């Protein structure tokens, strides 16, 4: 079946682009041609990413690599010519092999975009609040002092109520469209966090490695909230580290869960790392536990401190 023949693609009101296994365009439907100001004959053979500018080009490039290189679906948002799109990139499979990909562009209403932006922005101050409460516990011995622990736990419950109301409000106005409400890609989360950590490590003169497998299954839950909590926790650890400390962020599949591990290794000759309290940071626990996952911290005299997030797959 060809796109020009019996396919329904030419009649779809939503823009659609089809690429080959190398990520080069083989077809765009009329809606795509009108919306993005191109002609099908002009784009054939060009990399799909080259049809877009700025951040859209990078987003399409990453999605193409995920679909064609790993055979997994990718979802992202793209802004082009003052319009916002939710994009789904899916593999085209024949006889068990990926033979191409298709990109479907759904324009997002302005009100929905603003609502989701507000929802994302709320996550940052809530993550800051959770980290402040965690620091308060460490400085006051709160986990060992009943009155401090009770006061901090009251603050944690209040923050969680705010988060719950924000999620319910967004879900009520835009049903089913709250970012991260269903599942997210842990590979993308780890890659984005790794890029931020790599920049911070370079500024601080620290070594950093990002170790990711070729592909990971989706994880259920709120990926944006977890990304904020994990990135902020790791950045704080990098900034507070002594000279010569090295860091590693890894991801792997283990017993039906995705395991994200952030490891801090002390410099040679330095005093071994230790944990006065192995309780997980509040911001991480608050982001992971609602997903049915868990956070653990382990200290080793030589290997340093490893903070691990176990996330059940969707």
Judged against a pLDDT cut of 60, whether residue 12 lies above it is answered with yes
C-alpha–C-alpha distance, residues 61 and 263, integer Å: 29
**Residue 54 token pair:** 């700025």
Q: Please tell me the predicted confidence (pLDDT) of residue 176.
A: 46
Grade residue 308 by pLDDT with cuts at 50, 70 and 90.
very high
C-alpha–C-alpha distance, residues 75 and 186, integer Å: 12
Q: What percent of the chain has pLDDT over 90?
A: 22
Q: Please tell me the predicted confidence (pLDDT) of residue 251.
A: 93
Q: How many CB atoms lie within 10 A of CB 254?
A: 10
What digits encode the pLDDT tens for the residues 47-70? 998 888 777 888 888 889 889 888
C-alpha–C-alpha distance, residues 101 and 181, integer Å: 25
C-alpha–C-alpha distance, residues 68 and 102, integer Å: 10
Q: Please tell me the predicted confidence (pLDDT) of residue 275.
A: 59
What Å distances lie between residue 303 and 65, 247, 278, CA to CA?
A: 34, 11, 16
Judged against a pLDDT cut of 70, whether residue 278 lies above it is answered with no
Structure-model confidence comparison of residues 107 and 123, the more confident one: 107
Q: Please tell me the predicted confidence (pLDDT) of residue 119.
A: 67
Structure-model confidence comparison of residues 77 and 234, the more confident one: 234
The DSSP secondary-structure symbol of 24 reads B
Q: What is the CATH number of domain 9-107?
A: 3.30.450.20
H or E segment to which residue 156 belongs = helix 146-173
Grade residue 145 by pLDDT with cuts at 50, 70 and 90.
low
The DSSP secondary-structure symbol of 120 reads H
**Mean of the per-residue pLDDT values for the chain?**
80
What digits encode the pLDDT tens for the residues 178-219? 443 457 888 888 988 999 999 999 999 999 999 988 778 888
Grade residue 174 by pLDDT with cuts at 50, 70 and 90.
low
Q: Please tell me the predicted confidence (pLDDT) of residue 180.
A: 39
Q: Which of 66, 55, 54 is nearest to 23 (CA)?
A: 66
Maximal CA-CA distance, the chain: 73
Q: Please tell me the predicted confidence (pLDDT) of residue 101.
A: 93
Q: Express the helix, strand and coil content of the chain in percent, nearest 5 each.
A: 45, 25, 30
Q: Please tell me the predicted confidence (pLDDT) of residue 120.
A: 67
Q: Please tell me the predicted confidence (pLDDT) of residue 178.
A: 43
Q: What percent of the chain has pLDDT over 70?
A: 78
Calculate mean pLDDT across residues 268-284: 65
Q: Please tell me the predicted confidence (pLDDT) of residue 198.
A: 92
Judged against a pLDDT cut of 70, whether residue 241 lies above it is answered with yes
Q: What is the CATH number of domain 183-312?
A: 3.30.565.10
Model-level pTM? 0.51
């Amino acid at each position: 079946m060809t796109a020009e023949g019996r396919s329904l693609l030419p009649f779809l009101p939503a823009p659609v682009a089809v690429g080959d296994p190398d990520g080069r365009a083989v077809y765009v439907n009329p809606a795509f041609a009108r919306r993005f100001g191109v002609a099908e004959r002009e784009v054939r053979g060009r990399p799909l990413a080259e049809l877009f500018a700025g951040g859209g080009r990078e987003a399409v490039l990453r999605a193409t690599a995920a679909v064609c290189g790993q055979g997994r679906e990718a979802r992202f948002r793209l802004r082009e010519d003052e319009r916002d799109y939710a994009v789904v990139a899916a593999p085209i499979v024949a006889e068990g092999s990926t033979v191409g990909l298709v990109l479907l562009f759904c324009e997002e209403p302005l009100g929905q975009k603003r609502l989701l932006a507000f929802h994302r922005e709320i996550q940052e101050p809530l993550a800051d609040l959770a980290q402040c409460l965690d620091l308060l516990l460490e400085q006051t011995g709160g986990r060992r002092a009943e009155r401090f622990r009770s006061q901090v736990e009251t603050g944690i419950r209040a923050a969680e109520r705010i988060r719950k109301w924000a999620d319910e409000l967004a879900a009520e106005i835009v049903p089913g469209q709250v970012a991260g409400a269903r599942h997210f890609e842990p590979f993308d989360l780890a890659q984005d966090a790794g890029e931020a950590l790599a920049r911070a490590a370079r500024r601080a003169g620290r070594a950093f490695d990002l170790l990711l497998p070729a592909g990971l299954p989706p994880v259920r839950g709120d990926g944006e909230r977890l990304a904020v909590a994990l990135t902020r926790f790791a950045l704080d650890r990098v900034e507070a580290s002594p000279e010569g400390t090295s860091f590693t962020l890894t991801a792997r599949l283990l017993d039906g869960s995705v395991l994200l591990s952030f490891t801090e290794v002390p410099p040679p000759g330095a005093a071994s790392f230790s944990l006065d309290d192995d309780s997980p940071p509040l911001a991480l626990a608050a982001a992971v536990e609602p997903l049915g996952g868990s956070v653990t911290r382990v200290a080793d005299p030589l290997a340093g401190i490893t903070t691990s997030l176990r996330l059940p797959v969707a």
